[in-house]
Structure 1
Amino acid sequence: MLQRSAAVYGASLSQSATEKGQKYNLQQVAIRNRFPPWAPHIRNEILPQKTLPTRLFSRSSVTFFVINAQNCWQTAHRPPSTMNQLGRYLDMGVLKGRGRGNMHRAIRAIAQSTAILGGLVLTALIVLTCVSILGRTISTLAHAPFLETTVQGFATWLQQSGVGSVNGDFELLEAGVAFAIFAFLPICQLHGAHATVDVFTNFLPQRINRYLIAFWECVLAAVIVLITWRLFAGLQSKYAYGETTFLLQFPVWWAYAASFAAAIVASVVAVYCAIMRVSSALTGRGSTHAIGGSTQ
């Protein structure tokens, strides 16, 4: 008799929970239809699908079922915090779901391409420097007194061959290194490769570290954007006056233009990283490590 009463009571609870779950799911569908069809990830983020359990596993689990159904119902109707909502709205659009993955891949591709170009330029500068130093050394050796006295013919041939340092190597080095620095900034920003001192912050909770990282990420992004703006002002000035280098006589604004192009990429990546860090701090999701290692 007691088992039969428990079974009837469990069945009534199961039917009641099923009706509540169906009613809740209908409410979810009605609310989801208010969002535009082109943003399914927004609907899934703001209104996650949560259904109530509708199966009574056994006659002896009536109490567990009632508690589980009540917890699920309260969790589904618990309003998110204001900071969490702000982080989610900041994370929406191109920065969430499939759009966020595409955006991250595009940012990473641009940063990697710029870094590869900067690496090629830097490699060419290294070769240029080595050739210039070797030529300068040979030229110095050709004019050495002991070589002129011992092998005068060879010394005269070296002097007449015109071996020496590369003309304008310092000017090329200045322009190339400036471009390489700005070209490496995006990949460095994306992977969080800047020099940091975390002796004290290691003892802080992860939530506080997220806010600290987001703050300094925003500061660094603002500094990079400021440098890019002033670099553009210098580009306009050099172009207007037509200033050229002393030895090679090439326009100085060429170097400014190359550095400005790399600085634009650095600014875009810096702003993207700042948005991601702020979103991670507000929502409490994501890692405190580099952004460039994941696409989620």
Structure 2
Amino acid sequence: MYAASYRVADLIARGLAFAGGGILILITLITCVSIAGRAFVPLDIGIGPIRGIYDITEIGMAAAIFAFLPWAQLRETHARVDLFQAALPRRVDLALDLLFNIGMAFVAIVGSWRLYLGMLDKLSYGETTLIAQIPVWQGFAASLVGAVGFVIVSVFCIWRAARRLIGMEQQV
């Protein structure tokens, strides 16, 4: 059951990371097109900058950042201070790792919950971005996909850290 759970967590994390990368590539291409369009404005040939590029970039960056969180959690690459890690006994280090994973799951759950409530709020008021008039709730919804993946992977990481603490799994 653990191996199957790992495969699911890896699939979610990897899929979201690829989606986040795709979003970043798309943002880069759209930004290049917009910049090139600005260069053609003085020539008056009808091509100009993309309207609302800042709005599109803002929403895309938020979605990409949330999409990368599950991958960082699964691969244990979040920033943390390991100043005294070498001086601690292995069991204490593994216990702290479990505590860290519980903390990250808590942050993921609370963050996802608040993001969901924010999305509902933006949806109910019909708020849109200033320039492109994109409904703001759509950016929240796009980010929520990665946030939910972060919750799922974080819960799995608690299980993995607990298995390491009791000696059922070797640390990678």
TM-score, normalisation: structure 1: 0.55
Map 1:1-296 onto structure 2 (within 5 A).
99-139=1-41, 142=42, 158=43, 160-281=44-165, 283-289=166-172
Question: Which whole-Å deviations, capped at 9, do the CAs of 1:192-242 have from their partners, x for residues lacking one?
Answer: 111222222122221111011111111111011110000001011011111
Cα distance in 2 for residues equivalent to 1:256 and 1:285: 39
Report the 3-state secondary structure (helix = DSSP H, G, I; strand = E; otherwise coil) of the residue aligned with 1:184.
helix
CA RMSD of aligned residues (A): 1.5
Range moving further from structure 2, 246-255 or 179-188: 246-255
Cα distance in 2 for residues equivalent to 1:287 and 1:248: 51
Partner of 1:69: none
Question: Which whole-Å deviations, capped at 9, do the CAs of 1:218-268 have from their partners, x for residues lacking one?
Answer: 111101111000000101101111111222222111111111122111111
Question: Which whole-Å deviations, capped at 9, do the CAs of 1:3-42 have from their partners, x for residues lacking one?
Answer: xxxxxxxxxxxxxxxxxxxxxxxxxxxxxxxxxxxxxxxx
Does the aligned pair in 1 maintain the 2:5–2:156 contact within 8 Å?
no
Question: Which whole-Å deviations, capped at 9, do the CAs of 1:132-182 have from their partners, x for residues lacking one?
Answer: 22333443xx3xxxxxxxxxxxxxxx1x21333211000000111111011
Does the aligned pair in 2 maintain the 1:114–1:184 contact within 8 Å?
yes
Does the aligned pair in 1 maintain the 2:108–2:154 contact within 8 Å?
yes
Q: Which amino acid aligns with 2:157?
A: C
Unpaired segments of 5 or more residues in structure 2? none
Bigger-Rg structure (1/2): 1
Q: Which runs of 4+ in 1 moved over 4 A?
A: none
* Identity between Structure 1 and Structure 2 (%): 37
Cα distance in 2 for residues equivalent to 1:278 and 1:130: 47
Question: Which whole-Å deviations, capped at 9, do the CAs of 1:28-80 have from their partners, x for residues lacking one?
Answer: xxxxxxxxxxxxxxxxxxxxxxxxxxxxxxxxxxxxxxxxxxxxxxxxxxxxx
Q: Which amino acid aligns with 2:9?
A: I
Q: Which has the higher contact order (CA 8 A, sep 6+)?
A: 2
Question: Which whole-Å deviations, capped at 9, do the CAs of 1:72-91 have from their partners, x for residues lacking one?
Answer: xxxxxxxxxxxxxxxxxxxx
Cα distance in 2 for residues equivalent to 1:172 and 1:100: 40
Number of residue pairs aligned between Structure 1 and Structure 2: 172
